[in-house]
Amino acid sequence: MAMRLYSVAVYLFLYVPIGIIVLFSFNSGRHASSFEGLSVKWYGKALSNPFVLEALTTSLIIALSAALLSSLMGTAAALALQRIRGPLRAMFDGLIYVAIMIPGIVIGIATLIALVTVFDLLNPVLGALWPADAAPPKLSLGYASVIAAHTLFTMSLVIVLIRARIAGMDRALIEASEDLYASPWRTFLQITLPQLFPAILAGFLLSFTFSFDDFIISFFVAGPNTTLPIYVFSSIRRGITPEVNAIGTMVLGASLTLLIIAQVLLRRREGR
């Protein structure tokens, strides 16, 4: 009985604040702390706000790019690590888990320092090599720096998921494909990849979610770009309004829809 009450208390602690945000996003008043009636006007204001749309577009571009890159490179890294044995594999395993456990603020500061140092070294070289009659390109913080930073820390999640899937794969199918003289590339496409697809899709969704929701690392390396979490943080500093709750509710709804679609696709694939 005590464990049930404890479980109920934990779930209430986790989900009641989310429910309050969803409820107050339909508030007709101007203050988020006082509920004055039901209305959807704040959703209209959020969707017609050009700053919100620009921040949303930036977050989507960064999250999709980082998720795609981390899925591709994480899958390749996981397959390569399966062929490594001994102390070298233990070292790589440690580096992967350390990348997951390091706080975001440490990753953000370290990435910022590394990028600024590299830019300071490369910009003079580009200026010296560029023709004198044209302005040389200048490396700076922006889309590329955020995508690179997000790819690095989400790739570790993909590697862990893919390696867990590889450990549970049926090796007899791969060995049978090799016995039938199939090329390594054909074995990968027809045997290995279909078995890894659920883990790859899960890694893509996790990478997209972590990248889209990230604030700390983006705050350090985004440069002049404003992602949606950075915009929400800036708005909260000026005061919480139902518009912020509406933005959070729409992000929550989109995330749940994406997860449901992925689950349906995975179940259909397993059924086939």
Domains, the chain, in order of start with CATH, read 51-271 (1.10.3720.10)
**Strand partners of residue 27:** 38
pLDDT attached to residue 70: 92
pLDDT at 167 over 60: yes
Cβ contact 25:252 at 8 Å: no
pLDDT in tens, 118-135: 888 888 888 777 777 777
pLDDT attached to residue 18: 81
pLDDT at 170 over 90: no
User: In three state form, how does the secondary structure of 77-138 look?
Assistant: HHHHHCCCCCHHHHHHHHHHHHHHHCCHHHHHHHHHHHHHHHHHHHHHHHHHHCCCCCCCCC
pLDDT in tens, 209-264: 888 888 888 888 888 888 888 888 887 777 777 888 888 888 888 878 877 776 67
pLDDT attached to residue 224: 84
pLDDT in tens, 2-19: 788 888 888 888 888 888
pLDDT at 272 over 60: no
